[in-house]
Structure 1
Amino acid sequence: MESLINYLLQFGQLNQQQADLISRKTTFLELKKDEYFSEAGKTPKRIAFILEGILRVCYYNSKGDEITKYFIEEHNFAVDINSYNQKIPSSEYVQAVSTCKLLIFTTEAWEELSSTIIPWDGIIAKITERALIEKVNKLSPMLSEDATSKYLAFLEKFPALANKVPLSYLASYLGITQSSLSRIRRSIR
């Protein structure tokens, strides 16, 4: 719980009473590897804060291929924000890459925090803005680089993830085949 409060405090001020209320509004959830936090076709009704583990956001393209959009590491929020805010079914899956320990906010709890804690919406807006900037910064270079450059950039930005994520997920994220990724990894050792 302390990691959640410390994370929130990076984006705004909270007093002890507000921090206690936030703590009371969460529940703990452990997801095993490969379990889904949310699924395509369903409207998200909860938001997770990752205490431990890695989640991935993925979807199926028109050919039926599974595509990894991005990974979410610990000490970050996880939700399909567009679907959640608009209350529409998601087109993405959020899946545990490893065993994950999560703090869960229901929609009702989230809305209560918004109506009770004056700085809440401002804090969440700053978190959302930072997450969107990070997402753009992760994806933009990936569009123009060759496969080796993409992999090297991934290693530079996410050194801890490289050995924690299955090769198939990493290859999908990089937009290359698993065999190409294996060749690249062998060539740079």
Structure 2
Amino acid sequence: MHDFLKSLGILTDLEIEELSTYSHPRTLEKNEFLIREDSICQEVAFIKKGIMRSFYTDENGEEITYCITFSKNFMTAYSSLITGNPTPENIQAITQTELRIIRNGDIQKLTDKSANWLKLQKFFAEQEYLELEKRIFAFQKENARQRYIDLMQEHPKYIQQIPLQYLASYLGISQRHLSRIRKDLAF
């Protein structure tokens, strides 16, 4: 987490170290939840190692995976964190996952001490917006095959660790369609 935050160039070394005193480790086993729908999110997680997914359950009881987050990234139920309202999403570990957890109240304490924390929050909010826009454009402009190729290029070492049903749901296609795409792309 220290190296990741340092690479952003927003916080001082002292501020990053101070964050370390507020964060604590947590390990999630495969399929364990960070948060479940209808809970209020009160923490942010940095994924040191592992893969997590965000999903909701539709009216037919089907789980729809809409976000997959990999190592060296922050993860939270963002809308619940900022509004204090219950979240409609579930966040679940796809693999055994090592996290650093920071409580929202501690983030507020840090924000009161330095404007750099506000800059960091603004940076993350902007990154979330850009990722959302990228995903929307991908669904509107690209076919499923191209979305899969893009994901393989961005995260080649992780793709094989994601169960087929989650990957297919994330790409907005059936497992059968994903299997055909994989078969077509196999050399």
Question: TM-score surpassing 0.5?
Answer: yes
Aligned 1:30-69 pairs, distance under 5 A: 30-69=27-66
Out of 107, 119, 126, the residue aligned to residue 129 of structure 1 is 126
In structure 2, list runs of 5 or more residues that go unmatched: none
Indicate conservation of the 8 Å contact 2:5/2:16, yes or no. Answer: no
Does 1:184 pair with 2:181?
Answer: yes
CA distance in 2 between counterparts of 1:144 and 1:119 reads: 37
- SS at 2:31's partner residue? coil
SS of the residue corresponding to residue 10 of structure 1 reads helix
Alignment of 1:98-109 (within 5 A): 98-109=95-106
Structure 1: gaps of 5 or more residues: none
- Residue pair 1:12, 1:123 contacting (<8 A) in 2 also: no
**The residue matched to 1:123 in structure 2 has which SS?**
helix
Given candidates 74, 77, 81, the residue that maps to 1:84 is 81
User: Residue 71 of structure 2 is aligned with which of 68, 74, 77?
Assistant: 74
Residue 8 of structure 2 aligns to a residue whose secondary structure is coil
Aligned partner (choices 137, 142, 149) of residue 152 of structure 1: 149
CA distance in 2, matches of 1:19, 1:45: 20
Shift of the alpha carbon at 1:70? 1.2
For 1:11-59, what per-residue CA distance to the aligned partner results, in whole angstroms no more than 9, with x for missing partners? 3443343222111000100000100001111110111011101111111
- State the shift of 1:75 in Å: 1.2
Tell me how large the CA RMSD over aligned residues is.
1.6
C-alpha change, 1:182 and 1:24, in structure 2 (3 Å) is: same
Task: Find the aligned partners of 2:36 and 2:72 in 1 and give their Cα distance.
Answer: 21
Between Structure 1 and Structure 2, how many residues are aligned?
186
Matched, 1:143 2:161: no
1:109 to 1:146, Cα distance in 2 relative to 1, 3 A: same
3-state SS, counterpart of residue 186 of structure 1: helix
In the TM superposition, what is the alpha-carbon distance from 1:118 to its structure 2 partner?
A: 2.9
Alpha-carbon distance between aligned partners in 1 of 2:178 and 2:139, rounded to the nearest angstrom: 14
Is the Cα–Cα contact under 8 Å of residues 11 and 120 in structure 2 kept in the other structure? no
8 Å CA contact 1:45–1:84 kept in 2: the answer is: yes
